[in-house]
Amino acid sequence: MPKWGRIVMGAFYFCVPVVGGYNVMMWAIGKSHESIGEKGEKLKIKEVEGIGGGVGFGGGVKLVNSTKDEQERNKALLAKILKRHERKAQLLKEKRND
């Protein structure tokens, strides 16, 4: 096969899985929004308190049981981290514009 043919074949075999994977991912996101809502508003159980604690095959890892207080603390910490990241991104964007 000529060099240009190998290049075209390589591009084809690279692009097909990437484009296909992207389309499958977008389809799955759409299905999840249909079934649970964009932010989980269609879920029957909104909090996960007491869910988990199962033991895997052969006595595997126990899942964590978190209390409502722990969940609230984790949400607050995550919000703080995301806010800090957002501020850093904004500062970086402002530096680039200067």
Separation between Cα atoms, residue 82 and residue 90, nearest integer Å: 12
Average pLDDT over residues 56-62: 52
If asked whether residues 67 and 32 sit together in one domain, one would say no
Residue 39 tokens read as 């932010």
Res 54 pLDDT > 60: no
Separation between Cα atoms, residue 21 and residue 3, nearest integer Å: 27
Average pLDDT over residues 82-97: 92
pLDDT value of residue 9:
95
Q: pLDDT tens digits for 16-29? A: 999 999 999 999 99
Separation between Cα atoms, residue 86 and residue 33, nearest integer Å: 25
Backbone angles phi, psi at 62, to 5 degrees: -85, 135
If asked whether residues 71 and 58 sit together in one domain, one would say yes
- Domain hosting 19: range is 1-46
Average pLDDT over residues 68-72: 83
What domain count does the chain have?
Answer: 2
What three-state secondary structure class fits 14?
A: helix
Domain end marker among 46, 61, 83 = 46
If asked whether residues 51 and 28 sit together in one domain, one would say no
If asked whether residues 57 and 35 sit together in one domain, one would say no
If asked whether residues 53 and 90 sit together in one domain, one would say yes
* Closest alpha carbon to 49 in 72, 68, 70: 68
The predicted model scores a pTM of 0.42
Res 52 pLDDT > 90: no
If asked whether residues 13 and 35 sit together in one domain, one would say yes
